[in-house]
Amino acid sequence: MHLVECSPALRKLQHNALHYTEGDPQRKNSRDGNAFSALSGALVSWHADLEQVPRGVPTIIIAHEFYDALPVHQFQRTPRGWSEKLIDIAEDAL
């Protein structure tokens, strides 16, 4: 698993959420001393930008904040049904 995150604070949160740990080469489940998620056993690497992620392997990209920044129509499910998500600026904020 390769994660791209620039923020050290957010990396720390991701470490905690994934139960990130350094492996012990003496133990069978240690993944040869590499860093891995204790939740799934998946090897984990962090990168500062997308260019650092290895190429040539099957890839699934999940980009939560990136999609939030795109100029697209977004919808959310509310108790009243589906509604378009809109952002407005208060006049006194200008």
- Which is it for strands 2-4 and 45-47: parallel, antiparallel or unpaired? parallel
Instruction: Tell me the CB-side half-sphere exposure of residue 71, using CA atoms within 13 A.
Output: 0
Residue labelled with tokens 């390769």: 2
- Give the 3-state secondary structure of residue 84: strand
In the predicted structure, residue 83 carries a pLDDT above the cut 90 = yes
pLDDT tens-digit readout, 20-73? 887 644 444 444 446 888 888 888 888 888 889 889 888 888 777 776 777 778
Range of the domain at 28: 2-93
Domain total of the chain: 1
Q: What is the pLDDT of residue 89?
A: 79
Q: Residue 30: what pLDDT?
A: 42
Q: Give the model's pLDDT for residue 25.
A: 40
What is residue 90's predicted lDDT score, i.e. its pLDDT?
76
The pair phi, psi for residue 61, each rounded to 5°, is -110, 125
